[in-house]
Amino acid sequence: MQAQVLPLESCPALVLNADFQPLSYFPLSLWHWQTVVKAVFLDRVQIVSEYDRVIRSPSFEFRLPSVIALKKYIKPAKHPAFTRFNLFLRDRFTCQYCGGTQRNGLDLTFDHVVPRAHGGRTTWENVTTACAPCNLSKGGRTPKEADMMPMSWPYQPTVFQLQANGRAFPPNHLHESWRDYLYWDTVLEP
Ligand SMILES: [Zn+2]
């Protein structure tokens, strides 16, 4: 009987920066195998660990990397981009008014803590994560008027803070060779 061969599509590589820290925790920095092969041949990455899966062509045989590290260090931006995703990540995908999360099936939205009608701006310091019911019930009122104070006042996060939050959301599948490079809280539990 032949050993089961992993489909190539299920063989992404975990990408580490030159300091062996994952480029990103959430979403986890993974590259498609074809991108990985290209980067290896261009000599841009170092292979850290491999799958058992071998790809062959008439001229070469190659074990697919499961963990790679960039040869050139990419300096992380100090301030992450003000995006929908990063804002939810700052707030850990949690409504800042009731503490509800997407995991509870809630739809998450944005709330201007100081409403736009009161001069509130669309910035890191004034936009927070709110579930749809909280957003609706707060309406166009200030926290004081609505008697709804956000659990944490919105702030501009650093990349480091977002990375730390991202570590709390491990993906469903982690290849065993990745574990040495990912220090998930969940993995450390007995
Ligand atoms: Zn809520």
* 111 C-alpha to ligand 1 centroid (Å): 11
Give the per-residue pLDDT at 80. 87
Cis preceding-peptide flag for 27 (omega within 30 of 0): yes
* 156 C-alpha to ligand 1 centroid (Å): 21
Q: Are 47 and 68 in contact (CB under 8 A)?
A: yes
Gap between the Cα atoms of 81 and 111, Å rounded: 18
Task: Render pLDDT for 88-120 as a digit per residue (tens, 0 to 9).
Answer: 999 999 999 999 987 777 899 999 999 999 999
Q: Is the pLDDT of residue 3 over 60?
A: no
Q: Is the pLDDT of residue 172 over 90?
A: no
CATH numbers and ranges of domains, the chain? 8-77+170-188 (no CATH), 84-157 (1.10.30)
* 86 C-alpha to ligand 1 centroid (Å): 19
Q: What is the mean pLDDT of the chain?
A: 88
Task: Render pLDDT for 128-171 as a digit per residue (tens, 0 to 9).
Answer: 999 999 999 999 999 999 999 999 999 999 988 988 888 877 77
Q: Is the pLDDT of residue 1 over 70?
A: no
- For CA atoms 84, 157, 70, 178, the dihedral sign is negative
Give the per-residue pLDDT at 185. 43
* 171 C-alpha to ligand 1 centroid (Å): 25
* 81 C-alpha to ligand 1 centroid (Å): 25
Mean pLDDT, range 56-80, rounded to an integer = 90
Gap between the Cα atoms of 138 and 49, Å rounded: 51
Give the per-residue pLDDT at 183. 62
Give me the phi and psi of 44, to 5 degrees please.
-95, -15
* 94 C-alpha to ligand 1 centroid (Å): 8
pTM: 0.73
Give the per-residue pLDDT at 167. 81
Q: State how far Cα 67 lies from the chain centre.
A: 17
* 110 C-alpha to ligand 1 centroid (Å): 11
Q: Are 16 and 68 in contact (CB under 8 A)?
A: yes
Give the per-residue pLDDT at 119. 95
* 143 C-alpha to ligand 1 centroid (Å): 13
Q: Is the pLDDT of residue 43 over 80?
A: yes
* 29 C-alpha to ligand 1 centroid (Å): 30
* 138 C-alpha to ligand 1 centroid (Å): 10
